[in-house]
Structure 1
Amino acid sequence: MAESKLRTQSMDFAVSIINLVKALKSQKESIISNQIGRSGTSIGANIREAQYAQSKADFISKLQIALKEASETGYWLELLYRTGYLEEAAYKKLDAACSSLRVMLIASLNTAKKNAGSPRP
């Protein structure tokens, strides 16, 4: 069930990021919008890839990439806020969603790493 919640929230977050990118592009901002568009949508893509991982190590690797992308996205969100492209309320909402994804990814990674050492029945 947690994995399904992770997939759902990462998709919802990607939709929010795409809408943010549209708004940024309408303001003629292209440097950060390109970066956050890639990292913010990559989170869910890597979570989806992990679903069909070839091995436990591959699964863990995909989730680690998703976590790195979430961390990068958090950076871009803060930069957009500090440069005035993102209002405080919008920043707090997106940052909370991004932080929630990071927490779920860390929990999933900890579980996967713990279970990676145990043999399958």
Structure 2
Amino acid sequence: MCVMTDCLFCRIVAGEIPATVVSDSDDVMAFRDINPKAPEHILVIPKAHFDTAAAMATVDPLLAGKVVAEAGAIAEKLGFAADGYRLMFNTGANGGQEVLHAHLHILGGRPLGPMLAT
């Protein structure tokens, strides 16, 4: 479980900060992003604290797989999987990571266009 008292996502897992939860299991939680970039913008997080996705995958590859699998299940459950969606981990400041807790963005519900501007 999350033990970082100053981590926003650990505080969500602990129930200290409200979130619109989409799914919740023993190891993984998913909730809607408060500043969505697409009609469907959901964050999938491990309940254990890892600063980055790479750290999570190094220490617990099974958990990293559960995070990705849950993202696919959510896209199916919410009905946008067939049209396509984007899964994205941001890592570090240059990668756009705003919360230092591993989290997978699910973006869908409309055409998303090119990933990076040229």
Same fold by TM-score greater than 0.5? no
- Tell me the TM-score normalized by structure 1: 0.30
More helix by percentage: 1
- Tell me the TM-score normalized by structure 2: 0.30
Higher-Rg structure is 1
